[in-house]
Structure 1
Amino acid sequence: MSIADDEAEKAYPTRYWSGTRVKEQFSCDTDDLREAYLRGRNAPPADVEVEAVARKLIWRDMAPAWKNVMPSEDCFWNQAEPEMRANYLRDAREMLEIARKAVNE
């Protein structure tokens, strides 16, 4: 199950009719669907998203120095000091928030 699926299941657990394996159903209109889309679009970035961007940023910063031996993308992240990782996480979160803000303006 993906992280998004897991988060959705926690927020809106699957409900079944009492004592059966038949899922409850509800009806919604396009306004409801639009509202759900906007909530997802406006949600703050998840920690997993932030870390994925931070890992890519540190790799792009460090990779040019390793032209002859290209380590994996995880190599630099795993060997970085906690303070360095924290800086990249902060920068990644800021970048994602800037991107989300641009979409919503």
Structure 2
Amino acid sequence: MSIAEDEAEKTYPTRYWDGTRIKEEIFCDTDDLQEAYLRGRNAPPADAEVEAVAKKLMWWASAPFWEDVMPSEDCFWNQAEPEMRADYLRGAREMLEIARKAVNE
């Protein structure tokens, strides 16, 4: 299950009719769907998104010097000092927020 699917299940757990295996149905119109889309599009970046971008940025910045020693982004990320990871996380969050702001203007 993806992180997004896991978050969706936690936010909107599947509900069944009175203990049966039949799922409850919720009816909505296109306005509801558009509102849901906009809420998702405007949501702040998830921690997993920020970390994925930070790992990639760190890898791009350092791989030319270390790719013979570090086999993957994850390996390099795990070996980095906490302060260095924090700097990349901060930068990644800022970039993702800038991108979301640009989409919503």
Scaled by the length of structure 1, the TM-score of the pair is: 0.94
2:24 maps to amino acid: E
Equivalent position of 2:12 in the other structure: 12
Question: How many angstroms does 1:37 deviate by?
Answer: 0.2
Question: How many angstroms does 1:64 deviate by?
Answer: 1.5
State the 4+ residue runs in structure 1 displaced beyond 3 angstroms. none
* Distance (Å, rounded) in 2 between the aligned partners of 1:96 and 1:103: 11
* Distance (Å, rounded) in 2 between the aligned partners of 1:38 and 1:97: 15
Question: How many angstroms does 1:60 deviate by?
Answer: 0.4
Q: Over the residues paired in the alignment, what is the CA RMSD in angstroms?
A: 1.1
Question: How many angstroms does 1:73 deviate by?
Answer: 1.4
Identity %, equivalent residues: 82
* Distance (Å, rounded) in 1 between the aligned partners of 2:12 and 2:66: 46
1:65 and 2:58 matched: no
1:41 and 2:41 matched: yes
Question: How many angstroms does 1:6 deviate by?
Answer: 0.7
* Distance (Å, rounded) in 2 between the aligned partners of 1:43 and 1:49: 12
Scaled by the length of structure 2, the TM-score of the pair is: 0.94
Deviations 1:32-58 (A, max 9, x none): 000000000000000000000000000
Question: How many angstroms does 1:79 deviate by?
Answer: 1.1
| Aligned length, in residue pairs | 104
Equivalent position of 1:86 in the other structure: 86
| Structure 2 SS opposite 1:86 | helix
2:30 maps to amino acid: T
1:21 and 2:43 matched: no
* Distance (Å, rounded) in 1 between the aligned partners of 2:32 and 2:101: 22
* Distance (Å, rounded) in 2 between the aligned partners of 1:62 and 1:19: 55
